[in-house]
Structure formats: structure tokens, C-alpha cells
Amino acid sequence: MITLDTPIIQVQRIGPIFQKKLKKLGIETIRDILYHFPHRYEDFSNVKPIARIKFNEKCCIAGKILEIKDGRTWKKKMPLANAIIQDETGTIEVIWFNQPYITKTLKKGDYVCMAGKISLTGKGAHLSSPAYEKISATNNKLSVTNLTHAGRIVPVYPETEKLSSRWLRYIIMPLLTNLKNKIPEALPAKIIKENNFLAIDKALWQIHFPDSIELAKKAKQRFSFEELFNIQLAVLKERMLLDQESANAIPFNVDLIKRFVGCLPFKLTDAQRKSAFQILKDMEKPHPMNRLLEGDVGSGKTIVALIAALQTIKAGYQVAFMAPTEILAKQHFKEISTRLQNLRINIGFLTSKEDEFISRKLKNQTIEISRQKLLEKTKKGEIDILLGTHALIQDKIKFGGLGLVVLDEQHRFGVNQRAKLCKNATSKKKWSKITGIAIPHLLSMTATPIPRTLALTIYGDLDLSIIDQLPKGRKKIKTEIIPPKGRKKIYTFIKNQVKKGRQIFVICPRIEGEKTEIENPETKLKNKTEKKISPWANVKAVEEEYEKLSKEIFPELKVEMLHGKMTPKEKEKIMLNFKNKKFDILVSTSVIEVGIDIPNASVMMIEGSDRFGLAQLHQFRGRVGRSKYQSYCFLLTDSFSQKTRQRLNALITAKNGFELSEKDLEIRGPGDFSGTRQWGIPDLIMNSLKDMALVEKTRQLAKELLEQDPELKKHPALRDKLTKFRQKIHLE
């Protein structure tokens, strides 16, 4: 007997090749495949007599195969199959292109139902590559009910991993039949009743094989709710568990912080103060902090984290400080070394690639020691603050007494990495085994403002601190949209800026790779397949832009380039040289997006700006305007569409990153906020993340449910589903 949890490998119809493809989509159990929803439907429910069908009309016919044979197309010699179908009213020719297997399944004398479009070509009217399904007939009476591929509203799935809709229907239909009335209801009865939702069994049928489009919509409503509700339960549960764990309370040492802040070369902004206070207050508690510090690029998050770090170190614990890239980690290492200069704090630096560059700051000396030694010292607790990249997440790195983990630019770490880190950082067993101490506090930071709906769902287990204020004296960056004809003027402007001693960033357009369109043989509808991005495509774009700028446009200026295929060493060197004003213009891919500080740069020129998300453009822009010089951001675009205009205009008018992120969510959907996809929310339901009312409602109901029944004892099916969900997102 099969259940929702039966692994798909036990489903006879699914062979090893398909198992692999499904696995790539994260589909491993029957539940997963039943929750792989169609993204649209094709209405083939209207079975018409052959005599009444019209040209170019999508329709469905049912009849007998009078003849069927293989052939080849005249010019290209492509295989084709021809058939003549007859019903009581007439006959029609059917042609399938490039589907040589058709004549193996369909034989003369078979009764069939076919759905597609009638085309008129030189050869006359014919039904072209229709979807088909064999049907039964008694006394010449055709039965067109309960079909899978035609004669009904037919589901069309996102055909990723080359899984055809036909194949998915062929798998899903019998599974649903098999599980009829056996699928446990995971939503509480009260919720179903109050919201007038379809019950699970019916909802699954109606989302895959709807009786009407209205019922499909109703099913979708239920699943949108259900998926969000599950996320809410998962994150709230996570929160509850964390609140039950113990952490080392880190006393709030007001004097220490005052002294440190007093020695800074600048005054903290109110927002920085407030955030730092919230963090220090959190860490005082004997439960692990899980806080997200959000603030625009340049708002000064590092120093806030450093205050938390200092407090932790002075209380006798260690700090792990992680950045998403080598360059950024290095920059932090430098800045933090300077800021902590006279405090007798040992700082270690560790990344995955640069094995040989491992240093320790001791009495203001940077000493290179072996990785082995660094790990030993970390384990003994002699390194107070260990900085680096993901390399710090490895299991072999052990701390003597880790008190705080800081994760910079947390959105750049995948959900899985984040989960692994949180798991590592918060798994009591693990820490108590290794160190005999409690769970460390976790401070994540991001410059990508998270829209409110997302903050309440996938980030709902975090507390938020927001720096919504830039340090004093920063000039507003002048932002302009530049159409092709404005290009020349910009080049002249850039030359002038360089004359004044400034430096320039040029960001190359994102190359999206070939969009290959393949024909869905069944419906002849064109389906976009997955976009394949060659990792070299962006490199090529940078190289071409570099050639153009250095040879044609600015032959008298010094131009360099940067892209993701360079080694960390190469990138580091370029950035360092740029910082030290060794050249004027840096042409780069989006790798510079994250946190590098080049105060002398005053122009950010973004080619193909319409191809980036608003939040990302905002981040690019944040690379300039970090000093007393007036800075500029030029958004170049070849697109004259109203939509592009409106979108880019938001960068000029928006007051802060939050506004932009909400817009991004509205325009591009949540898929752009890295990580959201990994939550395994079906595509069809992703959009419900835009729905504030739904998000708030699910959160409220999840909260109430957990308050009444924290272990979900009264809701076993839901508990089961939640456990599976949590496993999937690596919380368990």
C-alpha cells in the first residue's frame, strides 16, 4: 500500500532516469510529486464532432483510427506519423512531427481522443501533433470521461528537467486514484471550515485534474494557505525551540562600550545606537539570540556587529565572523584589526581557498601561522575572533567557547548554508559535546531589505533590528536613467571625473544565457525551458566591455576588469589596486555587489540596468557615495518600455531600500530574493508571498495553534507534514 511518504523509487512507473530527474527537483516521495503543481491548464473538455471543428481552434475530438503510418517530412526528412480519424460526422487527418514512437502505441482500429489545433497548410486541414489518449468503446459508443490527457481540463506543468506534462499526468493520475480517500487531512478542521477550503483529497484532484477552472482556483487557494501556514508553523516552532535552549548570558558592560564608542573616529547614528542596544540586550539573556540586522549599504552595520563582538570577547567568549566572499572577509579583517588595535584581542583569518594566508593579530602584529596551528588555537580559545568565509562552517573547526556568530550579508548564504550554520551554531548536542558550553548567539546582517511579507514568513524566526539612517554628511547619490543617445555625454562626464581624481565603476549587464525554446510536441505550444547560463557568458561580456572602454573610449585612462572566474587572489589584487588608486576604471560583473569600500569612487555606471533587480541595483549604487565627493549612478538601458522606465524610476524616487524591495517583490515575485526557492514552495504558490493579508492570517493561526498544541499532538497529519518540511529545509 502506498502512502504520501512512500518514496517515489517504489512507484513502479518511475524508472531510474526519471527518479534522478525528479530528485533534481527535490521530489523524493509521493507527497512531493503530488505537491508538484501545474502552472496552468489547457481546456480540452469540449469534445466536438469532427464536422464542426474550425480552423485554428483548440479542440478535442474522439473517434476511430482508420489508418496510421510512419513517414518522413519532404525537405528535412524528419520522422512523422500520419493518421486518419473518423467519427460519426466525418474524418480528419492527424500529423505528428518527430514522434516516431506514436505508431508503436496507436494502431489502426484503436479508439482515441485527441486534443490540439486544426491547421490549414498546403496539404489541407489537419490536426497537428495533438495530445492523444486511447479510449474505450462499447458498441461503437465512445467513452470520453475520466481521461488524463484529453477530453478534460488538462494540467500543464513547468517542464523543468525535461519532465513532460504528459509524463507527469501519467504518473500523478494513478497515484491520486490509488490514494483516493486515503490522504490524511493536514489542515485543522476548524481552519478548513472557516475558510471554506476544499478538503485535501478533493483539493489535490482539483489542482491536478480540475472539473472546472473555478475548482482549480479554489484548490490553489487552499494550497497557498497551506504552504504558508506550514512555513509559519516551521519558523515559529524553530523560534519556540530556540527560546527553550540556553546560551551564555553576556553581561552588558556599559563602560566598555562607552569607551570603545568614544574612541571611534565618528559618532554613531541613532539607528546604529538603537540596534546595538537591542543586540546587547538580547545577548544578556540566557537564551540564544537570533537577530537580523538590516540596513542599507553604507549604513554602518559592521561597527554595530563589532560592538556585539567586543562585548562577547570581554565576557570571555569567542566570536566567529563570517562574510560571503574572500574579498569581503579580507576587508573586514583589515577594518576590524584597525578598530580593535589597542585592545589586545587576537584575530584569526581563515578562508577555504587561501590556505597560506592565515594570520593572527597579536599586539598589533600580523603573524602568519599554519592553518593547523590556527585551528588548534581556535580550539584552545586563544583566538578571540575568527574571521572568514563559509570555511568557518566546516565541522572540523572547533571553538573553545563560542559566544557569538556574526553572519555578514546573510542573504548571500543559501538557506541551506544558513540552516547548517544555525544548526551547527544552535545544536545543543553538538556544542555541548565539543565545548561543554551553550549555544552561541547569532547575529545576521543584510543590506537587502526584506519585504515585510517575507520577513514574517521565511525569516519569521528572527528578530529584526533596522538601521534606517545613513551616517551624517553622506551626499545623496545623483541617479539618472540613460538611454542609448545619452551614452556619449556620460563618457565625457566620466573623463572629467577622472580628471578630478575620482574613480569609476562600470557594471556589465547580466547575461541570461541562451533562451532555448522547445516545442512541446503534445500541444505545439511553445514552452520556455530552463535558462542555461554559461558561467563564461558574463566573463565574455566583461572582456568585451573592457576591450571597448580601454581601447576605444578611454584609451588615455587606466582600465581594469574583474569577474567571478578570477581566483580570489586575482580579485583581491585588483580590488586592492583600485582602492590604492592604481587605475581609474573598474569594469566588473556583479561580483562587486557585496560590500567593498572604495571611498574615492564617485561614478557607478550600470550597463543593461534593466536586467537587474531593483534591490541589486540599489546595492551597486551603494558602492559609491561613501565620501565627501558628490557621487553619481547612471542606469544605462536600451529598453524604451514603459515598464522599464517605471521600474528604474523607483531607484530615483524611493526613499530607502525597503521601498525598493517591496517593489521588487511586486514586479518580479519572490523568486528573486535568494533563498526563497529553496523553501520548496511550489511555484504556483510563490506569489502568495506577496499577499500581506494571507501572510498575517497564516501567521496568526499558526501561532494560535502552537500555543494550544505545541507538539501538535492533536494534529498528527500536520505534525508529520511539518517534520518532513523541516527536514527538507534542513532544520531537522
Q: Which residues bind ligand ADP (CB under 6 A)?
A: 266-269, 272, 295, 297-303, 447, 471, 595, 597
Nearer to ligand ADP, 110 or 597 (CB): 597
Residue nearest Mg ion (C-beta atom):
595
- The alpha carbon of 682 is separated from its chain's Cα centroid by a whole number of angstroms, namely 13
Nearer to ligand ADP, 270 or 666 (CB): 270
Residue 107 binds which one of Mg ion, ligand ADP, none, with CB within 5 to 8 A depending on kind? none
Q: What track of x and - describes contact with Mg ion for positions 80 through 119 (by CB under 5 A)?
A: ----------------------------------------
* Radius of gyration of the chain from its Cα atoms, rounded to whole angstroms: 30
Q: Segment near Mg ion (CB under 5 A), from 169-177, 230-238, 384-392, 591-599? A: 591-599
Smallest separation, CB 331 to ligand ADP (Å): 8
Residue 303 binds which one of ligand ADP, Mg ion, none, with CB within 5 to 8 A depending on kind? ligand ADP
Nearer to ligand ADP, 151 or 300 (CB): 300
- The site for Mg ion, by CB under 5 A, has a size of 1
Report phi then psi at 636, rounded to 5: -85, 140
Distances (CA, A) of 188 to 30, 97, 693: 22, 50, 20
- Write out the H or E segment, with its range, that includes residue 308: helix 301-314
Task: Report which residue type is found at 21.
Answer: K
* 247 neighbors 289 (Cβ within 8 angstroms): yes
Smallest separation, CB 264 to ligand ADP (Å): 8
Q: Residue 76: which residues within 8 A CB-CB, separation 6 or more? A: none
Smallest separation, CB 462 to ligand ADP (Å): 17
Smallest separation, CB 266 to ligand ADP (Å): 3
Distance (Å, rounded) from C-alpha 629 to C-alpha 497? 10
622 binds Mg ion (CB under 5 A): no
- Between the two ends of the chain, the Cα-to-Cα distance in Å is 27
Smallest separation, CB 324 to ligand ADP (Å): 12
595 binds Mg ion (CB under 5 A): yes
Nearer to ligand ADP, 300 or 440 (CB): 300
**Long-range interactions of 432-439: CB distance < 8 A, separation 24+:** 434/398, 434/399, 435/398, 435/399, 435/400, 435/401, 435/402, 437/248, 437/401, 437/402, 438/245, 438/246, 438/247, 438/248, 438/286, 438/288, 439/245, 439/246, 439/247, 439/288
Distance (Å, rounded) from C-alpha 296 to C-alpha 657? 6
Residue nearest ligand ADP (C-beta atom):
300
Count of helix runs (H) and strand runs (E) in the chain = 24, 26
Nearer to ligand ADP, 568 or 657 (CB): 657
Smallest separation, CB 268 to ligand ADP (Å): 5
Nearer to ligand ADP, 129 or 269 (CB): 269
* 112 neighbors 85 (Cβ within 8 angstroms): yes
Q: Segment near Mg ion (CB under 5 A), from 236-244, 369-377, 448-456, 593-601? A: 593-601
Q: Enter the C-alpha cell of residue 682.
A: 511550489
Smallest separation, CB 301 to ligand ADP (Å): 3
Residue 299 binds which one of Mg ion, ligand ADP, none, with CB within 5 to 8 A depending on kind? ligand ADP
Nearer to Mg ion, 403 or 595 (CB): 595
Smallest separation, CB 411 to Mg ion (Å): 12
The conformation of residue 514, written as its DSSP 8-state character, comes to B
Q: Which residues in this chain contact Mg ion in the complex, by CB under 5 A?
A: 595
